[in-house]
A = this chain, B = another copy of it.
Amino acid sequence: MTQGQAGPSLLSMRLSQVAPLDGADLAALQDAERETRVFRARSEMVREGESLVPRRALLAGWACHQRILIDGQRQILSFLVPGDLIGPHPHTQAIAPTTVLAVSEVATCLLPQAKPTTALAEAYARSAAFEHHYLMAQVTRIGRLDAYQRIADWLLETCDRLTLVGLATPLQFALPLTQELLADTLGLTSVHVNRMMQMLRRDDLLKSSGGVFTFPDRLRLERLVDYKPVRVSS
């Protein structure tokens, strides 16, 4: 599960979609992926307030940024899927703004240092911009969409993110998350997430079996929530 397949490495693939990398960058990334560190499911990969250096990237499995409130409630801020960088904004002495939790078993590698003004640095900066975008989408989602739309919108975004790294097609993807995780992401209860997903299925906007989800009519789903894919540069 933590083994990358041969061929262009995951990080190279992901980051060169974001900015045009040169051979040295690609080699450095490919090199970095050789030495992985694995985290067990449910382990805390980074604790809130810890140092964020050295930086790592996610190679396999799912993780999330989460925050726990005093009353025990949890808010998941975002998920990390393979190819994502762990922790935004690498400034000196940066500290983790949240706990990073491994949702499944997870493999990570160290991220090569990027010299300023190189293409790699640019790729990192754009990745941060992507993360920022996803957070803003998250605010809009839970601030202004109802439960039905929240789920639809989130599923579309997640499918697109997975597609970016070749783990999905625009119409189908595997989702190894419980409805409770979804609920804690979308500001709902798991009971209500369950009800709304049933409704999406009843409305023929979603099919699922064995953790694999399919959009029978993606266009209709997109119109339902006015879905727009993320763009961070011209």
Contacts and interface: CB of A to CB of B under 8 A. Distances in A.
Nearest to A95: B234
A233 B93 contact: yes
A113 B73 CA distance: 43
- Judged by DSSP, the binding face of A is mixed
Contacts of A186: 143
Nearest to A119: B92
A74 B89 CA distance: 28
Contact of A95 (B89, B98, B122, B233): B233
Interface string A96-110: 011000000000000
B140 A69 contact: yes
A91 B143 contact: no
Interface in A121-175: 122, 125-126, 128-129, 131-133, 135-136, 138-140, 142-144
A94 interface: yes
Contacts of A144: 69, 73-75, 187
Interface in A189-234: 226, 231-234
B139 A77 contact: yes
Nearest to A187: B143
Nearest to A116: B116
Interface of A: 49, 51, 65, 67, 69-70, 73-75, 77, 88-95, 97-98, 116-117, 122, 125-126, 128-129, 131-133, 135-136, 138-140, 142-144, 185-187, 226, 231-234
